[in-house]
Amino acid sequence: MRKALRLRRLSRPHDDRYLFVPLDHSVSDGPVVPRDRWQDLIHAVVLGGADAIIVHKGRVRTIEPAVLGGCALIVHLSAGTSHMADANAKVLVGEVDEALRLGADAVSVHVNIGSDTESRQLTDLGTVAAACDSWNVPLVAMAYARGPRIGDPKDPALLAHVVNIAADLGADIVKTTLAHPAEDMADVVASCPIPVVVAGGPASAHSIAGHARVAMDAGCAGLAVGRRVFTSPTPMHLVAELASIVHAPTDASLIHALTATMENRSS
């Protein structure tokens, strides 16, 4: 029950759809924004309607709890830098109980399938999943096909394998890459017993809004967009636009809402 309540907090409208904004890039790549812009960025993300932000444990201390409002907090437990001999390697740098003491609603772990350290990363995912089960904490797996043995990291069959690894090892939600061709992402989602959210991907000629619509049309449960938010000149407006796409009511929810309204009027 406690895990179910925490999972519910990860979706502001409680529609089991998610817009996560990862801001953990400061460990892997360097500062997200200058120090004097950090609080403004957090405010913009929250006011824009993000369901959760993802940060490392030390960064949590720079955020006033009241600032988050209805926005959930996910503490990322994996780390690795772009300066490592193996940029695909990830190690655990935090624990579930530590994240809970910081006020986390959930934790996340990064796993690169096909990397030279895949076995270590799978072990870490299993270890964190066991701790999450003990503490009733939701686990988000950031699972990608990355490494020297990977041909096409967007191959739908490969992505289906990746997301199911995350599910089988205990994740509650899995974040991964959008398949290519994008319409085949529907097969990836259909193969997986847990919600699948997709990364925002690198900046390109395609708008992030178009990327979001394609992902949601394929049946994804949401998005995890970081870099394209914190590099945007108007992050609040971008987050608001993405939130409107992610949480757009389906035909079924519209019918339910209309039915409830009619019942209330007749009572």
Which residue ranges make up each domain of the chain?
A: 2-264
pLDDT, position 256: 46
pLDDT per residue rounded down to tens, the chain (267 residues) = 689 999 999 999 999 999 999 999 999 999 999 999 999 999 999 999 999 999 999 999 999 888 998 899 999 999 998 898 898 999 999 999 999 999 999 999 999 999 999 999 999 999 999 999 999 999 999 999 999 989 999 999 999 999 999 999 999 999 999 999 999 999 999 999 999 999 987 665 468 999 999 999 999 999 999 999 999 999 999 999 999 999 997 544 444 443 444 445 444
Give just the sign of the alpha carbon dihedral 69, 229, 75, 216: positive
The CATH number corresponding to 2-264 among 3.40.720.10, 3.20.20.70, 3.40.50.11720, 3.40.30.10 equals 3.20.20.70
Distance CA 55, CA 65 (A): 14
pLDDT, position 1: 62
Secondary structure (DSSP) of 152-175: -TT-HHHHHHHHHHHHHTT-SEEE
- Out of 18, 57, 90, 175, pick the active-site residue: 175
pLDDT, position 160: 98
What are 74's strand-pairing partners?
54, 106
Among the listed residues 112, 129, 107, the one whose alpha carbon sits nearest the alpha carbon of residue 56: 107
154 carries an active-site annotation: no
Distance CA 210, CA 231 (A): 18
Contact 19, 51 (CB under 8 A): yes
Distance CA 83, CA 59 (A): 21
Amino acid at 35: R
Distance CA 140, CA 192 (A): 14
Please give the helix or strand (H or E) that residue 36 lies within, else none: helix 35-48
pTM for this predicted structure: 0.91
175 carries an active-site annotation: yes
- Out of 18, 57, 90, 144, pick the active-site residue: 144
pLDDT, position 206: 63
